[in-house]
A and B are shown apart, each in its own frame.
Chain A
């Protein structure tokens, strides 16, 4: 009765594990949806495990995306090929999933929570976060600035997808990933999202 993965893995032993994370409202679900759709378009099995707690209410959000023939819905610590984060604190929080030689792609943005400002529960400062992330193959992307250059700050997710694609970690063709974006966003925002994706690709030169 389990979903039969053998039908899907028509591309041999491709297995890619991704942790996508950020703060509620940053579009983690959208990014996960695009990646899952691209996997299906390219004929690969995929699972997505979401931890949505309090999305609207400043909570941490993450999802584990497993492309190829796996088993567990969640990725074991030290096994992820990439951590993709919309926010620096969340990138650092999820580093424990990253495998040796794995890649971190993070939006260069910090969202502090209110207790931090009141000195009750302090987050690390930017320099410390960058130091933590910098122990790995890491790319910082100023997604907001790139999105602003296109006149639509809502395309930050597509910028990040372009950046991740550029690292070579995703087992999709350019057409598969851009088709997945086109199918996942409202029609009138397709072009601007594809432009954002391309600028995101250019922002990362591995």
Chain B
């Protein structure tokens, strides 16, 4: 929802917008991140608020930038989706050992369902692994206030803090009261402290016990409001909830008049009030998104204190150990759920009309003609794995395409092996595996789909864009120069809108890699069509189907272009002039020459 929706200093803000606003009000000096749904709008909003916020090349670099700023006494934050949080655990653990000067906050967006992730993981586990507090807001208003408190707590105990939220909150909007920015007037000052900051094993052994002292101090702090709160109810069945599930729990508790406890910090758990709450109960229902982290601690707490109460949640089998906890899941504990009627098939997403990846994929498919293995990566081009295009065989994690291609070659697979990766993903995680491919003499083809943006997550600039988030010029990295420096052979740059050219380049690349035992590369280079049209760098044209020549073979539909539809009357192809931008890929596919681009 848009930020300008103002009503008496109350604005309707999404979780992401509220988090950005919280950062602003908290006086954050340096903010970094890497785009990823559901967290992308946070950095975008901070940039709009005029803050010192910018995208980094990947999450680990983003975190280390923020960490250095916090060591220099400033308030700093790194924002990422759960998959990115996995990348930062190594330096995050050290930041707990060294401690921080200015407040340091990691905002980690989990995707329980998942709506837009290849896996679903609970990043609260990482906070526990590295021994730092983790906060869990329930709604946008609380998210904003919690950000401000996080910096205060971080500066009080000198530990980084993690705030874990979920996709539902990221894109859920509610009225939020707007506050002012605190003016901290701090200047960065890096104080040398070798016994802490040169974290060798002997120094680490000395500093690690301090983490636990800090955590115990924090635990005491968390034993009161606003970290925990109660709602009265009658009877001996109670609910303990955190995060978004708390909102649904509130409705059920009201409906059934049950006592309800909200826990906003799951590590370190404020054990004293939790123990007091469960002591008077026969049964407690624990509601939290993803892993049973609070639940497990309650089980231990009950055991250690000899309490004989029933603990209902994921361990008891009442809730699934995966997916979102919404009102239906909670109701399912109390009532039998009505069987869902026959599902309507899921809509299969496609590449956009005019997307350059379409031509690249068709070229790769044609060159390989049914042989070979195509390893995909993470980005818009995942839609190329959907029917009808089905042009990739895998989509795993950032940078996995190239590394797994090396793995297949090393396993003795003799078929052509093509790794397909986008420009932003290549910069994020594709460079080390490219080095691996060269030094391991892997005869693979690296196909780089360079559309010069991080397009999937809303067109953030990539190192190949040459512009920053405010559109100011900055160094533009050329992927071909990097590939050459690494030692990749036969680097060819082609236009994705020219299928024949791409097809020939892939054929040649397969041959060259096989002959030389050195990876070869084809760079499919053309700007994302949405951006090219938006900025007037592509003049829209329109493809038209000659109804006389069309034989209704539906071959054009196999390109997966959403602009092409089939007429109910004639069964022949039709192209929607509102959607089509005239890329001409379908006209190159049509065996009857029935599609003309005007």
Contacts and interface: CB of A to CB of B under 8 A. Distances in A.
B288 interface: no
A192 interface: no
Most buried by A among B174, B561, B564, B566: B174
A73 B345 contact: no
A114 interface: yes
B347 A113 contact: yes
Interface string A129-163: 00000000000000000000000000000000000
Given A48-B1, A57-B352, A124 B554 contact: no
Given A33-B2, A71-B250, A114 B388 contact: yes
B94 interface: no
A105 B503 CA distance: 49
A91 B122 CA distance: 33
A26 interface: no
A72 B562 CA distance: 35
Nearest to A153: B578
Contacts of A54: 349, 383
A76 B327 contact: yes
A107 interface: no
A51 B111 CA distance: 12
B348 A58 contact: yes
A106 to B, nearest CB: 14
A53 B349 contact: yes
A77 B328 contact: yes
Interface in B491-531: 530
A75 to B, nearest CB: 7
Contacts of B338: 77-78
A92 B347 contact: no
Interface residues of A, number: 52
A54 B382 CA distance: 12
A120 B390 CA distance: 13
Contacts of B530: 56
A117 B566 contact: yes
A72 B226 contact: no
B81 interface: no
A76 B331 contact: yes
A140 B589 CA distance: 39
B176 A3 contact: yes
Given A37-B5, A58-B562, A2 B349 contact: no
Nearest to B250: A71
B226 A50 contact: no
Contact of A73 (B247, B331, B388): B247
B388 A51 contact: no
B387 interface: yes
A64 to B, nearest CB: 9
Contacts of A8: 175
Interface in B1-30: 1-2, 5, 7, 10, 12, 14
A78 B327 CA distance: 11
A36 B142 contact: no
Interface stretch (A39-47, A167-175, A197-205): A39-47
Interface in A55-75: 56-60, 70-75
Q: Could you say which interface size class chain B belongs to?
A: 35 or more
B344 A57 contact: no
Contacts of B145: 1
B476 to A, nearest CB: 25
B387 A58 contact: no
Contacts of B226: 1
A59 B49 CA distance: 31
A2 B383 contact: no
Given A57-B349, A73-B172, A117 B565 contact: yes
Contacts of A37: 5, 12
B5 A3 contact: no
Nearest to A117: B566
Contacts of B566: 117
Interface string A175-198: 000000000000000000000000
A109 interface: no
Nearest to B329: A76
Interface in B211-259: 226, 244, 247-251, 254
A156 B518 CA distance: 56
Contacts of A52: 171
Interface string B384-399: 0001100000000000
B146 A51 contact: no
A11 interface: no
B562 A57 contact: yes
Interface in B142-170: 142, 145-146, 168-169
A124 B387 contact: no
Most buried by A among B138, B344, B348: B344
Contacts of A75: 327
A57 B458 CA distance: 13
A76 B326 contact: yes
A2 B562 contact: no
B173 A3 contact: no
A33 B5 contact: yes
Contacts of B10: 40
Contacts of B5: 33, 36-37, 40
Interface in B305-353: 326-328, 331, 337-338, 340-341, 344-352
Given A56-B352, A76-B326, A36 B1 contact: yes
Contacts of B337: 77
B52 interface: no
Contacts of A78: 338
Interface of B: 1-2, 5, 7, 10, 12, 14, 115-116, 137-142, 145-146, 168-169, 171-177, 226, 244, 247-251, 254, 264, 326-328, 331, 337-338, 340-341, 344-352, 383, 387-388, 530, 554, 557-558, 560-562, 564-566
6 contacts: A33-B5, A36-B1, A40-B175, A54-B349, A73-B244, A121-B346
Given A29-B1, A36-B12, A77-B337, 9 more contacts: A45-B174, A46-B175, A49-B173, A53-B116, A59-B347, A71-B248, A72-B250, A74-B326, A118-B558
